[in-house]
Amino acid sequence: MNTNRLSATIAKALNDQMTKEAHASQIYLSYAAWADSQGYGGTANFLFRHAQEERNHMMKILEYILKRGAEVKVTAIPAPFKNPTSLNNCFEKVYEHEVDNTNSIYKVVKLSLSEGDWATWNFMQWFVKEQIEEETLAMNLLDKIKIAGGEKIENNTLYSLDRDLEKTPDDATSAEDVTADKP
Ligand code: OFO
């Protein structure tokens, strides 16, 4: 009896997205190691924490594929991107990466819609929401460094920004959680 509830196309798309999340984790890991080697301990702490989040995303997809009775294919992960050239560049790269991942998630959503696979469509909505947060978090990083001077940031400001990042929470506030009293 066939208990596989995913089509071959959806199973492949989910396996690919699972690998992409593992890749994301490696990217954050490598940027974190770079930040630490440059003396940006606060930034490194933030990025190391985020590497774990990406691994959690990978696990969610892996678990979903298994629960739908399809085959998980753990494959090689591409090497992370080149190291950033500055903290400003690091935050730009983080933002670009998140937008790229959002687009990739949208493709899986579109596919599930076209196949009428509502279980996968529903599962993927968690990722759609998560990507809004991830993009907001990345945008906040860019805002912070832009206000601090971007590429021209002075060393003492760099120091405070880096310290600040150590305490930056892992999640950004979602628009739907905002009220007039708590903007
Ligand atoms: Fe998995 O959310 Fe970032 O990439």
Which residues, other chains included, contact 165 with Cβ-Cβ below 8 Å and sequence gap of 6+?
Answer: 40, 42, 43, 45, 46, 141
Residue nearest to atom 1 of ligand 1 (CA): 54
Average pLDDT for 46-70: 98
pLDDT (tens digit per residue) in 80-135: 999 999 999 999 999 999 999 999 999 999 999 999 999 999 999 999 999 999 99
Number of neighbours of residue 36 by Cβ within 10 angstroms: 16
Give the pLDDT confidence score for residue 169 in this predicted structure. Answer: 83
Distance CA 152, CA 87 (A): 11
Distance 94 CA to ligand 1 centre (A): 10
pLDDT of 154: 93
Atom of ligand 1 nearest to the CA of 21: 1
Residue 111 lies in a domain: yes
- Going by pLDDT thresholds of 50, 70 and 90, the confidence category of residue 37 is very high
Residue 166 in tokens: 């150590």
150: left (phi over 0), alpha (psi -120 to 50) or beta: left
For 49-53, 68-72, 123-127, 151-155, which range has the lowest pLDDT when averaged over its residues? Answer: 151-155
Instruction: Report how many domains make up the chain.
Output: 1
pLDDT at 5 over 90: yes
In 3-state terms, what secondary structure has residue 51?
A: helix
* Half-sphere exposure at residue 71, Cβ-oriented, CA atoms within 13 angstroms: 7
Sign of the dihedral through C-alpha 141, 146, 152, 158: negative
| Burial degree of 124 (CB within 10 A; 0-12, 13-18, 19+) | buried
Q: Ligand 1 test: best mutation among 18, 56, 129, 131, most atoms within 8 Å of CB?
A: 131
Instruction: Report if residue 176 sits inside a domain.
Output: no
Q: How far is Cα 86 from Cα 34, in angstroms, rounded to an integer?
A: 10
The two tokens of residue 39 are: 């003396």
Average pLDDT, the chain: 96
Confidence at residue 171, expressed as pLDDT on a 0 to 100 scale: 82
Q: Is there a domain that residue 56 lies in?
A: yes
Residue range of the domain that includes 85: 8-171
Which atom in ligand 1 lies closest to the alpha carbon of residue 24? 4
- DSSP letter at 40? -
Domain membership of residue 23 (yes or no) is yes
Task: Report the percent of the chain where pLDDT is more than 90.
Answer: 90
CATH number of the domain at 66, please: 1.20.1260.10
Query: Above 90 in pLDDT, residue 178?
Result: no
Lookup: tokens for 84: 């950033």
Residue 170: band (very low, low, confident or very high) from pLDDT cuts 50, 70, 90: confident
- Residue 112, helix vs strand vs coil: helix
pLDDT reading at 139 higher than 90 = yes
Flag whether pLDDT at 64 surpasses 90. Answer: yes
Q: Which of 53-57, 107-111, 176-180 has the lowest mean pLDDT?
A: 176-180
* Domain annotation covers residue 2: no
pLDDT at residue 176, rounded to an integer:
87
Q: Identify the pLDDT of residue 177.
A: 87
User: Would you say residue 167 lies in a domain?
Assistant: yes
